[in-house]
Structure 1
Amino acid sequence: MTTPTPVADEKFARPATDEAIDRAAGALRGRGITVDVVDTVPGARQRVNELLPPGKAVFTAASETLRLSGITEDVDESGRFVSLREQLPPGDIEQFRLRGTTPDVIVGSVHAVTEGGELLAASASGSQLAPYAAGAAQVLWVIGAQKVVPDLDTALRRIRTYSFPKEHARCLEAYGQPSVLSKILIIEREIFPGRATAVLVREPIGF
Structure 2
Amino acid sequence: MSIDETFDESFAAPADAGQVDRAAGALQENGFTVHVVDTAEQARDLVLGLLPTDQAVFTALSQTLRSVGIASAVDESGSFVSVRRLAGQLADDDLDGKLRLGATPDVVVGSVHAVTEDGRLVVASASGSQLGPYSAGARKAVWVVGAQKVVSDLDTALRRVRTYSLPLERRTWQAQGGDSFIGKILIVEREFLPGRGTVVLVREPIGH
TM tier, shorter chain?
over 0.9
Tell me, in whole angstroms, the C-alpha distance in 2 between the residues paired with 1:8 and 1:195: 34
Determine if the alignment matches structure 1 residue 77 to structure 2 residue 76: yes
Deviation, structure 1 residue 154: 0.3
For residues 54-110 of structure 1, what are the alpha-carbon distances to aligned partners after superposition, in whole Å with 9 as ceiling and x for unaligned?
Answer: 200000000000011110001000111110100112633111111111000000000
- What's the counterpart of residue 145 of structure 2? 143
- What's the counterpart of residue 66 of structure 2? 67
Tell me, in whole angstroms, the C-alpha distance in 1 between the residues paired with 2:45 and 2:159: 31
Among all aligned residue pairs of Structure 1 and Structure 2, give the percentage whose two residues are the same amino acid: 58
Letter in 1 for 2:128: G
Q: Secondary structure at the match of 1:189?
A: coil
Tell me, in whole angstroms, the C-alpha distance in 2 between the residues paired with 1:96 and 1:68: 24
Q: Which of 112, 117, 120 is 1:118 aligned to?
A: 120
Alignment of 1:1-207 (within 5 A): 4-6=2-4, 7-88=6-87, 89=90, 91=92, 92-173=94-175, 175-207=176-208
Deviation, structure 1 residue 5: 3.3
Deviation, structure 1 residue 143: 0.2
Cα 1:116–1:86 change in 2 (3 A) is same
Superposed CA RMSD: 1.1
Tell me, in whole angstroms, the C-alpha distance in 1 between the residues paired with 2:18 and 2:26: 12
Letter in 1 for 2:8: D
Cα 1:110–1:138 change in 2 (3 A) is same
The unaligned stretches of length 5 or more in structure 2 are none
Tell me, in whole angstroms, the C-alpha distance in 2 between the residues paired with 1:193 and 1:49: 21
Tell me, in whole angstroms, the C-alpha distance in 2 between the residues paired with 1:206 and 1:83: 21
Tell me, in whole angstroms, the C-alpha distance in 2 between the residues paired with 1:80 and 1:97: 23
Letter in 1 for 2:10: K
Deviation, structure 1 residue 53: 1.1
Tell me, in whole angstroms, the C-alpha distance in 2 between the residues paired with 1:154 and 1:90: 42
Tell me, in whole angstroms, the C-alpha distance in 1 between the residues paired with 2:129 and 2:24: 26
Q: Secondary structure at the match of 1:154?
A: helix
Deviation, structure 1 residue 4: 4.3
Tell me, in whole angstroms, the C-alpha distance in 2 between the residues paired with 1:90 and 1:77: 19
Q: Secondary structure at the match of 1:193?
A: coil
Q: Secondary structure at the match of 1:206?
A: coil
Q: Secondary structure at the match of 1:29?
A: helix
Report the number of matched residues.
204
Letter in 2 for 1:5: I
Letter in 2 for 1:129: L
Cα 1:55–1:155 change in 2 (3 A) is same
Tell me, in whole angstroms, the C-alpha distance in 2 between the residues paired with 1:42 and 1:142: 12
